[in-house]
Amino acid sequence: MPDLRLPFLAALLAASLASAPSEDVRAMMLQARALQIRGGGSDPAAAVTIYKRVAALVPESAEVHLRLSEALQENEDAQGALAPARRAVVLAPRNAEARAHLGLLLYQLSQKDESLSADAARELRAATALLPQDPELWARLGEVSERLKDGEGAMRAWLHLGRLRPSFQAAWERAAIHARALQNYEGRREAVLALNNTRTPDERHLRMLEDLARDQIQAGYLAHAEESFLLLARHLPREPGLWENVALVRIQTSRFEEALDSLGKAEALKPTPRTTFNSARALMNLGRFQEAETRLAGLLADKIQEDWIADGSQALYAEALLLEGKGGALLTFLKEHPGRPQVAGELQVFTCQALISRNDWKSALVALKDGITRFPKVPFFQQAAQLPPEYLEYRFFARKETRAALEQLHLEGMAAIWSEFRRWDKCLEALERARTLGPVRNVDILIMQSSAYEQAGRTDDSLRVLREAQKANPGNPMVQNNLGYLLLEQGRDLEEAATLIEASAKATPDNGNVLDSLGWAQFKLGKLAEAEATLRKAAELSPFSHEVRKHLGEVLVKRGKLAEAAEQWERALAFVFPDRPALEKRLGELRIRLARERARAAEETQTAAPDALPDDDDEERP
């Protein structure tokens, strides 16, 4: 422990000496200090004798009691050192050196007497609050917390030590163990990443990182999962599965060019049906349908062992042919590859669409009636079943309205496929053509059209179509929520927006997205307490929604709960979303604000009551 003669102790000693007897106490203190081991001497027993004489002369001197305790400890009388160490802290409770000495002394004694462990932990916590940069204090606090089975305290201590000494892997290991036992995600992630942010991590540390990455995928923390898999791939660049996992995260977060790059690395090491299929998915989402078709054709020519790849490849290949306008090739393919029962309904839809696209009305009607009978739960056939019965009879097919109805059904189905691959221009083109053929019979089509307009940046058109949907079905919860939220985002009639969203929430009380809209409406209306309660419930229902976490953080900032707001924003950043950099910037600004407020509060506390101990709750938390 370094020699820290703080001005406070020096002043206290000077005041005591002023009223001391004529014996030269200052000279005695210097003489005793020179005899101490930490003072460069070799006779702590003699130092003890002198310090005891000085303590009798100036009993209110905290420094005298502290040096006496040190000398007794050096003289291997740790038990005797305890009383003067406690006395020094009583006299100067905010003195960092005295606190640290007492904490470490109690730690030493608790090695043999476990009953002192709780006292040691308490004093070490107080010492770390005063000397947060002292690694020994955090290490001893971690050890004694483990002895007390205080996993939370131990985790916090080892994390803090790891931050002070990033290369000290034992601290990170112990922090990771406690964090996993406590299911403390943030602490576990910090510790495991630190263990692997080295040039050559141990194999067991790599396994810990792989386990973390898989848990992050399961929890939906895709941004963090990508970070973990990339770190693994940096250490194991010849492992194709890691690059494939990175690609899957990028596909799920609609970053298809990056996904193709990662899949290319995986395929260069070991091509598999999975990588081929996922490359085709990425290509489809980039509008590169011909390339996707070629890959899928090769995949389907082989005998794929995994059913999900076989089914997915068949459906994706059919969609590629449809979007390329190759209805004839699609019909030939479907005739030769009827598919398993699990995908039969979807393939029947594609058959109907291919026939309609080729104006083969008779065959299309046969396929439609077959689909209505065999697959009544498929939305495409549910819409077909709502057509007037005569529209499905070929003898009435000469009527213009009959053909228009089937073509409208086909175009709406094509719009759904275009939206699946985020081609909003093509989706809107199909929907607008469908609108010219007849009235919209299903409000879901209007919701899709509104969403497509919004994605294309045409918010006024989006609002117009939602108003149309509201008129057609005013009690539809999805229409109410979408319309209300759009009004909120555009800063229009907040009262109407709140009324609509409240109605949607009443109809769907367990829908986290709707509750998020309601909480955001309450926030916009200045109802902060209600907004906080609503968004907390939304977070319980949708724990992996970055939008809910962002909104809850905003409300907490307004309510002055800055530390918890930062925690919510940190959770939001576990996900991938377009404005993530903006939230990262705001979180950085909030952390600076928090640090300043904590420093100001600590300064005010010291000024108001210099002898008061810090509250344990003021310690930095992981």
Q: Which tens digits make up the pLDDT trace of 450-479?
A: 999 999 999 999 999 999 999 999 999 999
- 516 lies in a domain? no
Q: Which tens digits make up the pLDDT trace of 407-436?
A: 999 999 999 999 999 999 999 999 999 999
Q: Is the pLDDT of residue 227 over 50?
A: yes
Q: Express as a percent the part of the chain with pLDDT over 70.
A: 92
Higher-pLDDT residue of 190 and 39 is 190
Q: Is the pLDDT of residue 21 over 80?
A: no
CB contact at 8 A, 82 and 106: yes
Q: Which of 92, 107, 124 finishes a domain?
A: 92
Q: Say which amino acid occupies 238.
A: R
What would the mean pLDDT of 146-160 be, rounded to a whole number? 97
Mean pLDDT, the chain, integer: 90
Distance CA 31, CA 41 (A): 10
How would DSSP label each residue in 144-182? Answer: HHHHTT-HHHHHHHHHHHHHHSTT-HHHHHHHHHHHHHH
Phi first, then psi, for residue 239 (nearest 5°) are -100, 105
> Which residue matches tokens 């007849």?
438
SS3 category, 201: coil
Q: Is the pLDDT of residue 622 over 70?
A: no
Confidence at residue 619, expressed as pLDDT on a 0 to 100 scale: 36
> Which residue matches tokens 């001893």?
140
- 614 lies in a domain? yes
Q: Is the pLDDT of residue 612 over 50?
A: no
Which residue in 290, 304, 417 sits closest to 353, CA to CA?
A: 417
Encoded tokens for 10: 């020096």
Confidence at residue 605, expressed as pLDDT on a 0 to 100 scale: 53
Confidence at residue 603, expressed as pLDDT on a 0 to 100 scale: 65
Which residue in 202, 137, 391 sits closest to 176, CA to CA?
A: 202
Q: Which tens digits make up the pLDDT trace of 391-415?
A: 888 776 667 888 898 999 999 999 9
- 74 lies in a domain? yes
Q: Which of 92, 109, 143 finishes a domain?
A: 92
- 609 lies in a domain? yes
Q: Is the pLDDT of residue 519 over 80?
A: yes
Q: Is the pLDDT of residue 100 over 80?
A: yes
CATH number of the domain encompassing residue 9: 1.25.40.10
Confidence at residue 492, expressed as pLDDT on a 0 to 100 scale: 81
CB atoms closer than 10 angstroms to residue 77: 15
Distance CA 580, CA 589 (A): 14
CA of 26: how far to CAs of 29, 51, 136, 614, in Å?
A: 5, 11, 31, 32
- 400 lies in a domain? no
Task: Find the range with the poorest average confidence among 123-132, 300-309, 582-591.
Answer: 300-309
Domain count, the chain: 2
Which residue in 179, 150, 112, 180 sits closest to 124, CA to CA?
A: 150
What would the mean pLDDT of 359-369 be, rounded to a whole number? 91
Q: Which tens digits make up the pLDDT trace of 530-546?
A: 999 999 999 999 988 89
What would the mean pLDDT of 496-516 be, rounded to a whole number? 94
CB contact at 8 A, 51 and 32: yes
Q: Is the pLDDT of residue 274 over 90?
A: yes
Sign of CA dihedral 206, 212, 218, 220: negative
Task: Find the range with the poorest average confidence among 1-5, 276-280, 305-309.
Answer: 1-5
Q: Is the pLDDT of residue 620 over 70?
A: no
Contacts of 196 (CB under 8 A, 6+ apart): 205, 206, 208, 209, 231, 232, 235
Q: Name the pLDDT band for 496 (thresholds 50, 70, 90).
A: very high
- 582 lies in a domain? yes
Sign of CA dihedral 434, 436, 437, 443: positive
Q: Which of 92, 107, 126 finishes a domain?
A: 92
- 271 lies in a domain? no
Range of the structural domain that residue 557 is part of = 543-622
Confidence at residue 533, expressed as pLDDT on a 0 to 100 scale: 96
- 554 lies in a domain? yes
Which residue in 416, 407, 404 sits closest to 378, CA to CA?
A: 416
CA of 550: how far to CAs of 145, 226, 486, 505, 543, in Å?
A: 35, 21, 17, 20, 12
